[in-house]
Structure 1
Amino acid sequence: MMKNYFTYYSQKYASKWLVLAIDLAIVMLAFFATYLIRFNFTLDFDINQFLFQIPFLLVIATFSFLIIGSFKSVIRHTGFTDVVNLFKSVTLMSLLAVIFVLFNRITNIIPEFTIPLSIIVMHALLSFVVLSSSRLLFKMVYKALKCKLTASKRVLIYGAGDSGIITYNALLSNLSSRFSIVGFIDDDIKKNGKSINGVPIFPKNKVTKAYIESNAIDEIVVATQTIDSNNLLNLIDSLIDLDIKVTKVPPIEKWINGELSAKQIKQVQIEDLLGRAPIEIDNPNLLNEFNGETILVTGAAGSIGSELVKQLANFDVKMLILVDQAESALYDLQQDLKRSGKEESMISTIVADIRDGLRIDSLFQDYKPTMVFHAAAYKHVPLMERSPYEAIKINVNGTKILADTASRYDVKKFVFISTDKAVNPTSVMGATKRMAEMYISCLQKESKTKFITTRFGNVLGSNGSVIPLFKKQIENGGPLTLTHKDITRYFMTIPEASQLVLEAGTMGKGGEIFIFDMGESVKIYDLAKNMIKLSGLRFPEDIDIEISGLRPGEKLYEELLANGENTLSTYHKKIMISKTRALEYNRVKSEIEELCITNRFQNSNIVMKMKNLIPEYKSNNSDYEKFDKRVQIYKKVKGLSSDDKSDKSYISL
């Protein structure tokens, strides 16, 4: 063991002393070359005097290199800083020589010893040139031999700006894999024909199938952060028939300690193809809003809840109370927070069911939260279509219990996380979320608590969402299952959704429903094809897409506004306030309360009452469509309009 230990350290330090020895040898040879140049490449100079000067020069050169440390650099990674250090070493050596020679002329400490000042200046210039050139030459030879002896990836870098240059350096510095940079691609025509470190820059239209094949390109690294998602998608489309990978450099804020590593360059993700720029919120009022607050988060272990908790933990809150009935997921969240350095004293994880009124009341009594973020819910449309009673218990009654308790304890703000499926609902799940929205709107009229609702579309990567499902199906070799070829959805990322909730908590004055401008809706069929492409596979040759038909309660397309709603703008151009239709607050509140405590397991009766309460609720591809038809027939016979609720006798049909 000691032998291995010694061998390791002797090898580790032998290289730098070898570099020092080579540098000193170069300095000595440069000194001899300087005399040859000075005397017209003849030996017409005092050889004895020259030999007398060599030990002196060796001493001051060694001292200078040791002081500056230029010999410690890794030669194969020589860069500008290393060249600067060489310049410092040579300059120090020359200054010491000049000072000693001038001092000796005055004091005559060493009789008859001198070095012509012209020789010192010429030697300094020659030494610097030869030392720098030798390092660069070694670097070039090493790279050439390395590329020949080891397999290397041939890479194109998309973007010839600062990020592209940093990516270039990161790839060349990588030790685990070898990269050969063939060229830069840039949309700026002014850069066309130029080069960076000898690597040519050319326009995007040159990246053709013929060019890729003739130059054996293995990978294209997208270094620019400003590339349009459509351009990125077109780039992937154009390369789909080629065995080439498209990767992307992460945003600068995600670089490790401000530096880019080749390991951080990942394959393009579906989030990069959203079709819009990521929604960003930069509101300094958030710091003041949550400072010193005791915040309770339900559904804390879920996709939205956990991201919400992680963002809230970055504020100077007094305490975070994390409530969820999924104990394993809640434990994982607790450990994540510990690993990220969050203080245990400011976080309390509690396994609890929001349907348990006594338990919820005890939590409010013990912790006295000042703000509530309510993310707990049943969200899977087909499952809730089969279990309306369970959907009512969690999505409506659970919200009711939590909102009533918050109101009773005078909580300052209650932020409810809803969904775009609550808009003109076609499913039980969407209808229950709309009922929860309506209940807290009713409660707002009689409470000091400010009740705020956020409504957004599908969340990329959340539990049970389409992206993880497609990824799993691709890993299993396909096919990808899709309910309808024309189905569309709005998408946002988990951080975007969580930021909306936090912003709503700051912006809301009570009673609002906040919605996002989420851009254009995404066609799921196109999303599936893009995911196949991003996996380096071909559709339909490698993986096919199967159409299974709409599931019970599923819409072809989602909406952010219901019939009779419009919007008001806010100070953030991407956030709007929905103006909902007027409610008969006393009647609505009373009927919701009644629905929460009666009709156990009577699914048909539950759905009929929800349809009466939410006139825009029309079932789709569901067994409950028959109730819509009965209502329409009844009203047609009675001569009532479709939204007329003056006669409720049809509930019992």
Structure 2
Amino acid sequence: MFKRFILKNLSKYASRWLVLGIDVFLVCLSFIFAYFIRFNASFDFEVSNLLFQLPFIILLSLISFLVVGSYKGIVRHTGTRDVFNVFLAATFLVTLTSFSVFINRAFNFFPTFTIPVSVIIIHYLVTIFILILSRFVFKSFYEIINTELGVVSNVLIYGAGDSGIITYGALNRDTKNNFDVLGFIDDDERKINKKIDRIKIYGLEKVTDEFIEKNHIDEIIISIQNIKPSRLLEITDYFTPYDVEVKIVPPLSTWIGGDLQVNQIRDVKIEDLLDRAPILIDNPILKRDVNDKIILVTGAAGSIGSEISRQLSRYKYKKLILVDQAESPLYELQQELLQKNIQNFTSIVADVRDIKRMEGIFKEFSPEKVYHAAAYKHVPLMEESPYEAVKINIGGTKTIVDLSIKYNVERFVMVSTDKAVNPTNVMGATKRVAEMYISSVSEENTKTKFTITRFGNVLGSNGSVIPLFKKQIEKGGPLTVTHKDITRYFMTIPEACCLVLEAGTMGEGGEIYIFDMGQSVKIYEIAKKMINLSGFKYPDEIDIEITGLRPGEKLYEELLATGENTIPTYHDKIMIAKTVCIDTALTKQLICDICKTNENQDSQQVITLIKQLVPEYISNNSIYEKLDKPVSVN
């Protein structure tokens, strides 16, 4: 009870008027001490004169402190600026005192007010010393009491540069939590064993399990701006065996008002550990192509479609039409944009498979650019529902493509997937068919430029592995992985959408743009890292369960199909897939046959036709394997 009372009162700031009163009292004490020093540590002077002079010193000190405002600082957070303000106030006081003494001597107003110059100088020095010392004594007292009575987090800051020092200051200023920074860690040998504000800098090799246990370290805060993902991965892996939380300071650009707040320091996310530099695109041509345009986004409420819509909302387009059949997610996106004071957009609940409905939208708004993100994407579900996959991924795409040609859309951009490359499942095969339809019409059409973007898995998208793992961790595990060796390419949602928008400005039409996504990542390794980053130990606290490959699932994904190679673009991370030639007339006819046959809901016949159109489509772990043509062996 007593501890709670002390902590509650410590959490309150001392009144500025109380600080002012203490400062004035210390100035008076310093004045008496100055006389004592001046007269050889004795009271061999007219004490009555000192008592007469004290009220004047009190008045002058009040004026000085009020003018400078040195009493306004939060004493528990005393820093360089507060010390400088004390110095200014003391200097202003000695100036006023000297001026008053000079005037009094000239006109002899108060004979007993003549203060020796030596006393004034001594008083000035003693005042500065005592006022600064008092602040640091109170600050140390507060930290000791707070440490003894409160719950303290012992912290090591990784990075002894500018960012690390700013992080140290932010932790010290925080009043809601109790942090005790016990050291810095740095890779620069020139800094090791030196000190910052009496805090020692260690090399990483010194921070052992014994060191962490001895000092009761709770958190490691990585404060290195522009740290490479590979280095961040090394650091997190180093601390994984230890019972500590690893957190990271966000980039400088995200600091609130240019200042770091403790609540911005966050856990390391799996996205931070991708061994790939993030893709940054700043294309002024995009502004030219988007500004004053009427833009239609299909699948606008999905993970990709919503981010495309957000990024487009930053430009000065003429009108933005957001189309999706999912009512609730579309409503959420609508409210999000309205809260950002974005008004010139229209949200429409509609299905891209409904030809009449979609034609009505094209006729009413006459879009000039179309971003087609509407699709079914979940492999196991589509393996069980080929009818739906064909109807939206092929039929829906065909509808939007045909309407784009009919209504003279300038640019059509389709969001595709790496699962369309050498597909092993219905979902990937239907996306490949959609690509082929676009390639076919692109060769015959000159008014509308068609572009395809092809990329891998998107971190954090609806139904992706990262949110699934998070939910499984919240429930205590286990995490489910289909195969220990399964790998995937990953990118963030903003990167994926940045690529889509960039593709909308490139090429003459018919190109498939792919993305340098670095190395593919083992899902099993991601699962282990997520367990550790969540503060649990693998496999002791949360284990990983191998469930077996799902129908149609690949061990690894590809970005290029057999027979494709790439040609570079002006951006070193974006390439064009040089696709094999196709018979456009036959392709369009087969696609029409697929769509018509699909109306009969005959999955076997539909898949047979798709395999005829996409010969590289070889089913894996699926009931449709029997439809694959046997490979002849010579």
- Quote how far apart the aligned CAs of 1:108 are: 4.0
3-state SS in 1 of match to 2:376: coil
Q: Deviations over 1:574-614 (max 9, x none)?
A: 11111111121222122212322334211111111111111
Distance in 2 between the 1:140 and 1:348 partners? 59
Compared CA separation, residues 292 and 107, structure 1 to 2 (3 A): farther
3-state SS in 2 of match to 1:506: coil
**What's 2:554 paired with?**
555
Distance in 2 between the 1:99 and 1:462 partners? 72
**What's 1:286 paired with?**
286
Aligned residues of 1:313 and 1:342 also touching (Cα < 8 A): no
Q: Deviations over 1:238-290 (max 9, x none)?
A: 43443221111122222222222222222211111112222222333333332
| 1:403 aligned to which of 401, 413, 416 | 401
Aligned residues of 2:414 and 2:452 also touching (Cα < 8 A): yes
**What's 2:4 paired with?**
none
**What's 2:412 paired with?**
414
Following superposition of structure 1 onto structure 2, how do residues 545-624 of structure 1 map, counting pairs within 5 Å? 545-600=544-599, 601-624=601-624
Distance in 1 between the 2:92 and 2:234 partners? 56
| 2:426 aligned to which of 428, 439, 456 | 428
**What's 1:382 paired with?**
380
- Quote how far apart the aligned CAs of 1:110 are: 4.2
**What's 1:321 paired with?**
321
**What's 2:218 paired with?**
218
- Quote how far apart the aligned CAs of 1:112 are: 5.8
Compared CA separation, residues 56 and 373, structure 1 to 2 (3 A): same
- Quote how far apart the aligned CAs of 1:12 are: 8.2
Aligned residue type for 2:82 = D
Aligned residues of 1:209 and 1:239 also touching (Cα < 8 A): no
Compared CA separation, residues 72 and 500, structure 1 to 2 (3 A): same
**What's 1:20 paired with?**
20
**What's 1:251 paired with?**
251
- Quote how far apart the aligned CAs of 1:106 are: 3.5
**What's 2:514 paired with?**
515
Distance in 1 between the 2:335 and 2:41 partners? 75
Following superposition of structure 1 onto structure 2, how do residues 636-647 of structure 1 map, counting pairs within 5 Å? none
Aligned residue type for 1:452 = T
Following superposition of structure 1 onto structure 2, how do residues 325-364 of structure 1 map, counting pairs within 5 Å? 325-339=325-339, 341-344=340-343, 346-364=344-362
Distance in 1 between the 2:174 and 2:597 partners? 66
**What's 1:48 paired with?**
48
Distance in 1 between the 2:575 and 2:12 partners? 62
Q: Deviations over 1:298-319 (max 9, x none)?
A: 1111111111111111122222
Distance in 1 between the 2:433 and 2:12 partners? 70
Distance in 2 between the 1:354 and 1:447 partners? 24
Q: Deviations over 1:534-586 (max 9, x none)?
A: 12222222222222221111111000111111111112111111111112122
Distance in 2 between the 1:69 and 1:545 partners? 60
Distance in 1 between the 2:485 and 2:534 partners? 23
Aligned residue type for 2:225 = Q
Q: Deviations over 1:57-116 (max 9, x none)?
A: 211110111122211211111111211221221222222222333333444444564333
Compared CA separation, residues 13 and 203, structure 1 to 2 (3 A): closer
Following superposition of structure 1 onto structure 2, how do residues 27-426 of structure 1 map, counting pairs within 5 Å? 27-110=27-110, 113-339=113-339, 341-344=340-343, 346-426=344-424
Compared CA separation, residues 14 and 251, structure 1 to 2 (3 A): closer
Aligned residue type for 2:505 = T
Distance in 2 between the 1:292 and 1:61 partners? 64
Number of aligned residues: 623
Q: Where does structure 1 lack aligned partners over 5 or more consecutive residues?
A: 1-7, 640-653
Please tell me the root mean square deviation across aligned C-alpha atoms, in Å. 2.0
- Using the TM superposition, name which of 283-292 and 104-113 deviates more: 104-113
Aligned residue type for 1:406 = S
Distance in 2 between the 1:177 and 1:589 partners? 65
Aligned residues of 2:219 and 2:246 also touching (Cα < 8 A): yes
Aligned residues of 1:236 and 1:533 also touching (Cα < 8 A): no
**What's 1:478 paired with?**
477
Aligned residues of 2:420 and 2:432 also touching (Cα < 8 A): yes
3-state SS in 1 of match to 2:281: coil
3-state SS in 2 of match to 1:396: helix
3-state SS in 2 of match to 1:617: coil
- TM-score normalised by structure 1 residue count: 0.92
- Quote how far apart the aligned CAs of 1:468 are: 1.2
Distance in 2 between the 1:321 and 1:362 partners? 13
- Quote how far apart the aligned CAs of 1:137 are: 1.1
Aligned residues of 1:407 and 1:447 also touching (Cα < 8 A): no
Distance in 2 between the 1:293 and 1:328 partners? 27
**What's 1:646 paired with?**
none
Aligned residues of 2:13 and 2:74 also touching (Cα < 8 A): no
Following superposition of structure 1 onto structure 2, how do residues 494-509 of structure 1 map, counting pairs within 5 Å? 494-509=493-508
Aligned residues of 1:233 and 1:273 also touching (Cα < 8 A): yes
**What's 1:527 paired with?**
526
Aligned residues of 1:414 and 1:450 also touching (Cα < 8 A): yes
- Using the TM superposition, name which of 280-289 and 379-388 deviates more: 280-289
Distance in 2 between the 1:100 and 1:501 partners? 75
Aligned residue type for 1:521 = S
3-state SS in 2 of match to 1:191: coil
- Using the TM superposition, name which of 474-483 and 283-292 deviates more: 283-292
Aligned residues of 2:245 and 2:535 also touching (Cα < 8 A): yes
- Quote how far apart the aligned CAs of 1:190 are: 0.8
Distance in 1 between the 2:287 and 2:166 partners? 34
Distance in 2 between the 1:354 and 1:90 partners? 76
- Quote how far apart the aligned CAs of 1:353 are: 0.4
Distance in 2 between the 1:318 and 1:91 partners? 62
Aligned residue type for 2:537 = R
- Quote how far apart the aligned CAs of 1:417 are: 0.5
Compared CA separation, residues 204 and 284, structure 1 to 2 (3 A): farther
- Quote how far apart the aligned CAs of 1:236 are: 3.4
- Using the TM superposition, name which of 314-323 and 133-142 deviates more: 314-323
Distance in 2 between the 1:382 and 1:388 partners? 10
Distance in 1 between the 2:319 and 2:85 partners? 52
- Quote how far apart the aligned CAs of 1:228 are: 3.8
Aligned residue type for 2:287 = L
3-state SS in 1 of match to 2:491: strand
Aligned residue type for 1:505 = G
Distance in 1 between the 2:273 and 2:267 partners? 12
Aligned residues of 2:271 and 2:459 also touching (Cα < 8 A): yes
3-state SS in 1 of match to 2:629: helix
- TM-score normalised by structure 2 residue count: 0.94
Aligned residues of 2:390 and 2:598 also touching (Cα < 8 A): no
Compared CA separation, residues 109 and 291, structure 1 to 2 (3 A): farther
Compared CA separation, residues 14 and 155, structure 1 to 2 (3 A): closer
- Using the TM superposition, name which of 458-467 and 358-367 deviates more: 358-367
Distance in 1 between the 2:534 and 2:493 partners? 22
3-state SS in 2 of match to 1:589: helix
Aligned residues of 1:431 and 1:614 also touching (Cα < 8 A): yes
Aligned residues of 2:391 and 2:598 also touching (Cα < 8 A): no
Distance in 1 between the 2:502 and 2:123 partners? 67
Aligned residue type for 1:156 = L
Aligned residues of 2:14 and 2:74 also touching (Cα < 8 A): no
- Quote how far apart the aligned CAs of 1:219 are: 1.2
3-state SS in 2 of match to 1:598: helix
